[in-house]
Amino acid sequence: MSTIKSLFVSALLVCLAAPGAIAQCASSTQVNSISCYNPKTGCQAQTTQLTPNFSQYGVMYYASVVQCCSQIYASFMRGDSWVCNGSGKLSDPAIRQHLIELAKTDDIMVTSCRGEYRPLVIALLEQPTSTTPQQFNPARMHTLSGVGRGGQ
Amino acid sequence: MRIAFALPFLAAGILGLGAFASPQTAPDPTPALATTSATPSAPSLGHAKQPSETANVSKDSSPQVPSVTIEFKPQQTAIPGAHGSAAFVSPILCSPAGIPLVPFIEPSDFGPQTVYSLDPKGGHAFSVKSIPGLYDINSIHGYFASDSLVSILVNGTKDDKTAPNTISMGPGLPPRHIYIGEHHDYLVEFDSGGNYKEALELSDKYKFRRVAMLPDDTFVALAYDQASAVPRLFRLDSGGQITGSLQIPGAMQASPELVAGQSGDVSQQVNAESSLSWWLFVPTRHRVLLYQAHTNSPVLELGAGGAVREVPLQSPKGYALDEVVSANDRWIMRFRKTSLSDSGAIDANPETKNFLLYEVDSADGTLRREIDVKGGVFYSIACEQDGVFTAFSVDGEKVNLETADLPH
């Protein structure tokens, strides 16, 4: 119980960095309806629990909790950004190479796990994340949703 | 290297999600019937109204619909072998023999739930946490029970390769490995004693979200088609291979999320796929009912050979369908007040009227009678079998069954 309680005050950003997690790193979620009961108080209640289907995706989620009849249960909540490249850990060679090729002629912006956009070349070099927005030409920008393997 | 970005003091964000919100207890007068359409659709499969059903009419009930009162009584001591907890994923499904199967949730567990069968002769656990040769199973997408087996739908991989980094799930929790192999949807099958039998790999073309078994021992599956951004309903053979598709009525696909999912925007498509969480299968009347929780959409009854019958639902005014109870001879439905928030805990004590239980006419979807529950186990009503409701109560880890007779 104390472990879960501690998540409440120090929630954790969970950002997965799996290979190929580019176009698909926006993951769907499984929303469960939870029924709960507390025999001491007679409480009966219902709430919802969210679980990302994150498997092979790169997903930004916060570990979170939900409370039901005085008990606390694990859950997740979405991060602000749906797209996350895992701080430059683009380990799929094919996609990495594809992005590098694109970057020769275009500005490729990716999001860090903090939700900040930064140039791909910087992400690949694993340089420290800039805390200021990067200047780029939107006309030359590829969105990540247009790159990679597409939906399966 | 661990990927763990501690974000201190996200309490505001969590509170925004509704965690730690107090149960909503808004009182509500006895509801009147909704005036929404409830026209009979497909031919009736035969459910004659019984002459004695106006008995036990409550003083407070709506004049249009009679009500009956049921009272749960403990049937025996704790079920041997069953380990319960104070919460579970609903709805509960039952086997054809009327044995509840409950996915209990442990408070500190970020992993998939374990399904427990509450057989009075002895409970069994159906766990996907340690399936031989199958890794990275994070949640259960659905489950069902036939006479001889229990099947659970999961996503995972048979490739045990992991990335060098791990994910921290929080203080004191073990780090999570990142499995980098190809993932698939699997239907994991157990015998009725909880022994793992096999894992059927499902097609990679679709994201499978629900599976159930039809009366002819074939499967029906709900999936999301990412290529065309629509839900699909498939028939599968006993090996999990797609053998055909079934039409999903347009009214069931008219939700804002599914419509927006066709815009081409990735995040909208993700939301559309996620919205299938509220599409549920439940065994009723020796068939399978597909319904959308938290809506007043029509329901779809699926029979042997893929026979399909769409039935519009009449809900109590101000309420929407919450869940359907497993039943072998009728439709029992729980409705949820529509004014309730989608976040936070909702008080489910019967006196709050946040949830109402009704018997619904399976011929035309109209309300037949309200079922008032006396006792203390409204939250855990699991199934109805030949006029007898089964629920359960949990005391620590001990689980006791309770039953109540439904008057004619």
Which has the higher per-residue pLDDT, B28 or A97? A97
Question: Could you tell me if residue A72 is inside a domain?
Answer: yes
Same domain, A104 and A63: no
Tally the domains of chain A.
2
Question: Residues B341-378: pLDDT tens digits?
Answer: 877 788 998 889 999 999 999 999 999 999 999 876 88
Residue A50 has pLDDT above 70, yes or no: yes
Which residue is associated with the tokens 């409701």? B389
Asked whether the beta carbons of residue A30 and residue B226 sit closer than 8 angstroms, the reply is: no
Mean pLDDT of chain B: 82
Question: Could you tell me if residue A8 is inside a domain?
Answer: yes
Asked whether the beta carbons of residue A18 and residue B9 sit closer than 8 angstroms, the reply is: no
Q: Which domain holds residue A128?
A: 93-146
Same domain, A42 and A13: yes
Same domain, A17 and A68: yes
Is A147 within 8 Å of chain B by CB? Answer: no
State how far the Cα of A52 lies from the Cα of A78, in Å rounded to an integer.
9
- State the pLDDT at residue A28: 73
Interface test with A, best of B270, B341, B356, B393 (most A CBs within 10 A): B270
Q: Which of A22, A54, A78 finishes a domain?
A: A78
Q: Which of A78, A104, A124 finishes a domain?
A: A78
Same domain, A54 and A26: yes
Question: Could you tell me if residue A87 is inside a domain?
Answer: no
- Of B278, B361, B258, nearest to B323 (Cα)? B278
Same domain, A16 and A54: yes
- State the pLDDT at residue A104: 67
Same domain, A98 and A51: no
Question: Residues B172-216: pLDDT tens digits?
Answer: 667 777 787 888 999 999 999 999 999 999 999 999 999 999 999
Question: Could you tell me if residue A29 is inside a domain?
Answer: yes
Same domain, A13 and A61: yes
The interface predicted TM-score of the complex, written ipTM, equals 0.79
Question: Could you tell me if residue A151 is inside a domain?
Answer: no
- Chains A, B: CB contacts under 8 A, how many? 229
- State the pLDDT at residue B96: 93
Same domain, A69 and A98: no
Cβ atoms of B95 and B145 closer than 8 Å: yes
Question: Could you tell me if residue A36 is inside a domain?
Answer: yes
Exposed, middle or buried: residue A91 (CB in 10 Å: 0-12, 13-18, 19+)?
A: middle
Mean pLDDT of chain A: 53
Q: What is the pTM of this model?
A: 0.75
What is the CA B334 to chain-centroid distance, rounded? Answer: 12
Same domain, A46 and A113: no
Question: Could you tell me if residue A85 is inside a domain?
Answer: no
Cβ atoms of B389 and B94 closer than 8 Å: no
What is the CA B394 to chain-centroid distance, rounded? Answer: 20
- State the pLDDT at residue B162: 81
Same domain, A101 and A70: no
Interface test with B, best of A3, A4, A9, A12 (most B CBs within 10 A): A12
Same domain, A28 and A68: yes
Question: Which among B87, B108, B156 has CB closest to A36?
Answer: B87
Q: Which of A78, A110, A137 finishes a domain?
A: A78
Contacts of B12 (CB under 8 A, 6+ apart): none
3-state secondary structure B84-138: CCCEEEECCEECCCCCEEEEECCCCCCCCCEEEECCCCCCEEECCCCCCCCECCC
Same domain, A60 and A103: no
- State the pLDDT at residue B173: 65
Question: Which among A28, A89, A113 has CB closest to B270?
Answer: A28
